[in-house]
Amino acid sequence: MVRPSPLYKMKLQGIYPPIATPFNHEGELYKVKVFHNINKLNRSGLAGYCVCGSTGESVHLTAEEKYTLWGWVAEAAAPDRLLIAGTGVESVRETIALTNKAAEIGYKLAMVRTPHYYKNLINNTEAQVLYFRAVADQAKIPLMIYNWPQTTGVDISVEAVVRLSEHPNVIAIKESSGNLDKLKAMIAQVKPGFQVLTGSAPTLWPCLEAGAVGAVLAFANAAPYACITIWEAFRRREAEAAEDWQQRITPAALLVTVKYGIPGLKYAMDWNGFYGGVPRLPLIPIGDAAKREIEEAFHELRG
């Protein structure tokens, strides 16, 4: 029988950016810019960092590059920040290996996406439950399920999440679909203590109001203080302020998470004093018209 991890009671409240991966002009990992970004983020009220998630272009990274990035961010991060490693890949075997390597480096939580290559075989509750249980049984740190059906084409069912919430080493889910009704159903049905986080900046405030404990937001790479402002308004029960800031960030968030994706987000980071740089091929930088659109949307979200 699997014993609960000593970290299974960790609290995941707050805002976590899934760190964008900096590349230099030769397409290699760019250490100095990793430290530049983390040092700037350390001065904010973020709760921690997720490294090698979708925003970090994890599907474009080798295992060795993931180990390197995990090490660099762990070295640069403020000591009070929770470190989350994106470790999910298609097979149970490799996901376990990556998760346990992240644990050795000092990461406290693994974010594991739904496998999706064989969609017709994995897009059902039984297969999803088996995958995450198999990983959790051998993982040295707790798991956070990661659901982003817009990209993977696989949408983990509420039933699967409810069943997985009973596993002592599965403690949370990052629900990035933006489906508020689904998020509410999870919150209502999962085991007490299981934590639901949102991955959708355009619905951050409604998700917090519905009971999400925090958020893992790509948008926070470019505008961390705006995200933190909504979080703090939520904590202080200042609904009017939270709604106001939600309206302010939504157009910009939609541009860099839905319309232009990672290339747009990286440009917004450059515009806002962080280092975004270029994505790794086959992703390509955005054009001039898109840049102007992002600059206008982020005009009041500087810093």
The residues carrying an active-site annotation are 174
d(CA 170, CA 8): 8
Transcribe 124-183 into DSSP letters.
Answer: SHHHHHHHHHHHHHH-SS-EEEEE-HHHHS----HHHHHHHTTSTTEEEEEE-S--HHHH
In this structure, are residues 18 and 53 in contact, taking their beta carbons and an 8 Å threshold? yes
d(CA 168, CA 138): 12
In this structure, are residues 197 and 173 in contact, taking their beta carbons and an 8 Å threshold? yes
d(CA 151, CA 136): 23
CA 68-131-183 angle, 5° bins: 90
What is the sign of the dihedral through the CA atoms of 224, 212, 123 and 90?
positive
In this structure, are residues 131 and 115 in contact, taking their beta carbons and an 8 Å threshold? yes
- To which residue do tokens 């696989």 refer? 154
Beta bridge partners of 135: none
Sheet containing strand 82-86, strands side by side: 14-16, 214-216, 195-198, 170-175, 143-147, 109-113, 82-86, 48-51
DSSP 196: E
Q: Show Cβ contacts of residue 97 under 8 Å, excluding neighbours closer than 6 positions.
A: none
